[in-house]
């Protein structure tokens, strides 16, 4: 499943390519699974609006859409920002892809949504396993991304401070790996980046979260943020189906220290990487470097 760096990469790529575009029309497949809001409601809400911004919230991609009409002005006559009244929300699930394509490029199999843009290009949601989700949020005049727009659960890992991070795990009677995967605590962290961050922090994934010292938790917070930012800079990890908005694979899998490296030598101490099951997930660690 795409995690924070992959979703960030896709959201940034879509934003750069279609910001300011007008949605001229839509098409949705007849499958039920990807849709949390009905295709009819989406078609009515999306058509005719302009893409103001595309960004990530946790593992979700949020598209702010503005009314496409005459520019509004403030009291002093200066143009006011376009009013965001609709958000289109995409969760990639296990195999979802959000691709910006020329209309002349054949539509891939397993495409479930197509937004036809004013430039003549299309934004396509493709998902073979149909675990992804498409949703819609209507905002009233007093709402927006900073108000009642989509926020998602949990804290943002890239910006959380030391005090808040330590408070998340205080007294938790579960493994630190399980705690990192809990989206109600930190949204966007999944199996890959939990394993990689714990390695960089020198913490074994089976350690109880509530028993870690403040120094260990601060080392983990800093490792998590460093790993996530480095992964974003390399376009994420392509270990399965993930590609960016242009259909290009990421490169961070080449930097993995433990994830999916069972039996291979640790790149620091040469000890064989071990695999266990923690929180129901395959978990990879170095028995020498992680205590």
pLDDT digits (tens, 9 = 90+) for 107-139: 999 999 999 999 999 999 999 999 999 999 999
pLDDT band at 240 (very low <50, low <70, confident <90, very high): confident
CATH topology of domain 4-138: N-terminal domain of MutM-like DNA repair proteins (3.20.190)
Residues designated catalytic: 2-3, 59, 281
What per-residue confidence (pLDDT) applies to 82?
72
Residue 145 pLDDT exceeds 60: no
Phi, psi (rounded to 5 degrees) for 136: -140, 140
- The mean per-residue pLDDT over the stretch 147-168 comes to 91
Residue 71 has pLDDT above 60, yes or no: no
**pLDDT for res 73:** 44
Domain boundaries, the chain: 4-138, 162-285
Residue 47 predicted with pLDDT over 70: yes
Q: How far apart are CA 202 and CA 178, in angstroms?
A: 16
Is residue 272 pLDDT above 60, yes or no?
yes
CA distance 50 to 20: 6
Instruction: Give the ranges where the chain is alpha helix by DSSP (H).
Output: 4-18, 39-46, 162-169, 176-181, 191-201, 214-233
Average pLDDT, rounded, for the chain: 93
Taking CA atoms, 177 is separated from 92, 157, 205, 208, in Å, by 23, 15, 5, 9
Determine the Cα–Cα distance for residues 222 and 161; give it in Å rounded to an integer.
10
Task: Say if CB 291 and CB 203 are below 8 A apart.
Answer: yes
Please name every residue paired with 62 in a beta bridge, in sequence order, or none if there are none.
55, 89
pLDDT at 154 over 90: yes
Q: Which fold has domain 162-285?
A: Helicase, Ruva Protein; domain 3 (1.10.8)
Using a pLDDT cut of 70, give the percent of the chain over it.
Answer: 93
With a CB cutoff of 8 Å and minimum separation 6, the contacts of 16 are none
Supply the pTM of this predicted model: 0.91
Mean pLDDT value of segment 138-154: 71
Q: What Cα–Cα distance (Å) separates residue 243 from each residue in 98, 127, 237, 251, 284? A: 9, 12, 9, 10, 24
Residue 74 has pLDDT above 90, yes or no: no
């Amino acid at each position: 499943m795409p995690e924070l760096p992959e979703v960030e990469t896709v959201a940034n790529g879509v934003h750069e390519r279609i910001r300011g575009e007008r949605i001229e029309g839509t098409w949705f497949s007849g499958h039920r699974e990807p849709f949390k809001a009905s295709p009819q409601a989406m078609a009515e809400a999306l058509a005719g609006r302009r893409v103001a911004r595309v960004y990530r919230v946790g593992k979700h991609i949020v598209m702010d859409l503005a009314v496409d009409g005459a520019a509004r002005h403030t009291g002093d006559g200066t143009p006011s920002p376009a009013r965001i009244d609709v958000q289109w929300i995409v969760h990639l699930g296990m195999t979802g892809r959000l691709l910006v394509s020329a209309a002349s490029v054949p539509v891939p199999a397993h495409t479930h949504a197509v937004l036809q843009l004013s430039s003549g290009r299309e934004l396509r949601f493709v998902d073979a396993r149909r675990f992804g989700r498409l949703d819609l949020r209507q905002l009233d005049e007093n709402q927006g991304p900073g108000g009642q727009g989509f926020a998602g659960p949990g804290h943002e890992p890239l910006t959380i401070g030391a005090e808040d991070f330590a408070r998340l795990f205080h007294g938790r009677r579960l493994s630190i790996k399980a705690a990192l995967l809990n989206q109600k605590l930190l949204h966007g962290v999944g199996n890959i980046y939990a394993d990689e961050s714990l390695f960089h922090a020198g913490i074994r994934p089976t350690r109880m979260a509530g028993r870690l010292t403040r120094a260990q938790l601060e080392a983990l917070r800093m490792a998590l943020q460093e790993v996530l930012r480095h992964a974003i800079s390399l376009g994420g990890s392509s270990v399965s189906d993930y590609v960016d908005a242009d259909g290009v694979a990421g490169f961070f899998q080449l930097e993995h220290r433990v994830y999916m490296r069972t039996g291979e030598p640790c790149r620091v101490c040469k000890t064989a990487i071990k695999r266990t099951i923690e929180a129901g997930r395959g978990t990879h660690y170095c028995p020498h470097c992680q205590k």
